[in-house]
């Protein structure tokens, strides 16, 4: 089978959740013996130099990057207020990307064209015109829900109104997009159920798959557990959640347990966040090896107040045998059991209590971490997830042959 991936950012290097989710399927399909071609947007926000991609990866994926200016232009954003178009989507429409895609479709037969995220849907008509491939939307999130939640968390009336406008236009586009594709591969069961309630288009849940790493030899939890968070801070829900946790929750934890340390790692650390801002807060910034950083610490804090989809960094922490303390929003899409393989905290009081339990109960963090690892082994093995995706592709092709 030949599959063309249209990506809103380069799947390599897989430094953020989106690229990780894309790359897990790309490499999984290749390992299963199928041919893959990647055409991806390259922007200042997630910029990749082709020469920095290993030759082996370029050879097996045929990856091509097309430069797009995705920066927010105040004048264009202002004019958008007087239209019904989604400004989020409009920024991804490019003549250069269209020309390269058309050339690919004219020269190569593809069985499936997979749109990675809603932002690639503007190219559906072009694919239809030049290919008979089945078109699958890989929905990493329910995109408008992210902005709805951000709007609800915003106190500033003007900003709240503007975010509301962005939400309504994005929602209108997202719901219309469901009927434009042949299949939808949602990243969580919850998202899949949402889409099924709105469209007759076939929907399947295809979660993030992982090749399980070996457990670290030093995976035991320390007497005073080291707490950590790792994630790109240019994603608004990450910054929003960490700002709340650092300002509202961590000072209270520090009063009770001054020996505890909270370690923050990730790309694009904001200027307001720096070491020394709060007691026992260490800001690492981007680290060379995310897995090593996770293995060196004990308990992941993921205080997400908004967002949608599945949190890949949570899956990775659980795969490393770490206890994760997160909100219900953070754990969406994960088949967790609160208190068994994860700890759910939805308020300041909940987070403080969860940390208190970890500190005061020897063996609790190690036990939850071991159960978390077991869950990932049973549910999120990438080979099984790829088989499920291939079955979905085949069903779409059979339906197409019957229809025509």
Domains and CATH numbers, the chain: 2-209+381-403 (3.40.50.2000), 226-379 (3.40.50.2000)
How many H helices and E strands in the chain?
A: 16, 13
More confident residue, 136 or 80: 136
Angle between helical axes of 312-319 and 364-379 (0-180°, round to 10):
110
Q: How far is CA 183 from CA 159, 173, 175, 310, 325, in A?
A: 35, 17, 14, 19, 34
State the average pLDDT over residues 254-265. Answer: 95
pLDDT number for residue 146: 84
pLDDT of residue 404 exceeding 50, the answer is no
Q: What are phi and psi of 11, to 5 degrees?
A: -75, -10
Beta bridge partners of 281: 262
Residues 6+ apart with CB under 8 A from 383: 28, 31, 32, 209
Count other Cβ atoms within 10 Å, centred on residue 247. 12
Q: What residues have CB less than 8 Å from 310, skipping those under 6 apart?
A: 21, 187, 188, 207, 208, 332, 333, 334
Flag whether pLDDT at 307 surpasses 80. Answer: no
Q: Are strands 183-186 and 203-205 parallel, antiparallel or unpaired?
A: parallel
Closest CA to 141 of 310, 5, 25: 310
- Interval 193-235: pLDDT, tens: 999 999 999 999 998 888 887 777 555 678 789 999 999 998 8
Longest CA span, the chain: 68
> What does the alpha-carbon distance between residue 5 and residue 26 come to, in Å, rounded to a whole number?
8
pLDDT tens-digit map of 9-44: 999 998 888 998 999 999 999 999 999 999 999 999
Answer whether 258's CB lies under 8 Å from 278's CB.
no
Is the pLDDT at 284 greater than 50, yes or no? yes
| The predicted structure's pLDDT at residue 15 | 81
Collapse the DSSP code of 260 into the 3-class scheme (helix H, G, I; strand E, B; otherwise coil) and give the result: coil
Residue with tokens 């959640």: 241
**CA–CA distance, 380 with 376 (Å, rounded to integer):** 5
Handedness of CA 183, 187, 193, 199 (dihedral sign): negative
By the 10 Å C-beta count (0-12 exposed, 13-18 middle, 19+ buried), 96 is classed as exposed
Token pair for 401 = 């042959």
| Cα separation, 134 vs 119, whole angstroms | 18
List, as one string, the DSSP characters of 194-206: HHHTT-SS-EEE-
Q: Could you tell me the two tokens for 88? A: 């989020």
Round to whole Å and give the CA distance between 227 and 301.
7
């Amino acid at each position: 089978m030949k599959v063309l991936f249209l990506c809103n950012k380069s799947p390599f290097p897989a430094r953020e959740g989106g690229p990780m989710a894309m790359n897990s399927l790309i490499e999984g399909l290749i390992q299963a013996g199928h041919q893959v071609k990647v055409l991806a947007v390259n922007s200042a926000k997630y910029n990749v130099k082709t020469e920095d991609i290993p030759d082996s990866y370029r050879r097996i994926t045929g990856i091509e990057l097309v430069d797009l200016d995705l920066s927010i232009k105040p004048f264009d954003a202002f004019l958008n207020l007087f239209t019904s178009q989604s400004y989020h989507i409009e920024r991804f429409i490019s003549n250069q990307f269209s020309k390269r895609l058309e050339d690919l479709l004219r020269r190569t037969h593809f069985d499936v064209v997979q749109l990675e995220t809603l932002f690639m849907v503007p190219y559906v008509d072009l694919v239809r015109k030049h290919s008979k491939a089945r078109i699958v939307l890989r929905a990493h999130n329910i995109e408008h829900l992210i902005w709805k939640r951000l709007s609800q968390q915003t106190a500033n009336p003007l900003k709240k109104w503007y975010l509301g406008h962005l939400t309504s236009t994005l929602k209108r586009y997202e719901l219309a997009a469901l009927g434009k594709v042949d299949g939808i591969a949602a990243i969580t069961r919850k998202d899949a159920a949402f889409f099924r309630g709105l469209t007759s288009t076939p929907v399947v849940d295809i979660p993030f798959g992982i090749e399980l790493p070996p457990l670290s030899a030093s995976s035991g939890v320390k007497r005073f557990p080291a707490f950590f968070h790792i994630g790109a801070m240019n994603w608004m829900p990450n910054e929003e959640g960490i700002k709340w946790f650092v300002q509202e929750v961590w000072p209270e934890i520090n009063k009770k347990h001054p020996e505890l340390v909270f370690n923050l790692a990730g790309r694009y650390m904001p200027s307001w966040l720096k070491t020394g801002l709060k007691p026992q807060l260490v800001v690492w910034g981007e680290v060379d090896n995310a897995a090593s950083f996770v293995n060196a610490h004990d308990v992941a804090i993921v205080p997400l107040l908004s967002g949608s989809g599945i949190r890949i960094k949570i899956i990775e922490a659980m795969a490393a045998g770490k206890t994760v303390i997160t909100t219900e929003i953070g754990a969406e899409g994960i088949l967790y059991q609160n208190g068994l393989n994860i700890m759910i905290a939805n308020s300041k009081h909940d987070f403080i209590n969860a940390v208190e339990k970890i500190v005061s109960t020897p063996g609790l963090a190690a036990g939850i971490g071991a159960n978390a690892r077991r869950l990932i082994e049973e549910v999120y093995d990438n080979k099984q997830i790829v088989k499920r995706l291939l079955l979905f592709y085949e069903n779409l092709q059979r339906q197409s042959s019957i229809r025509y």
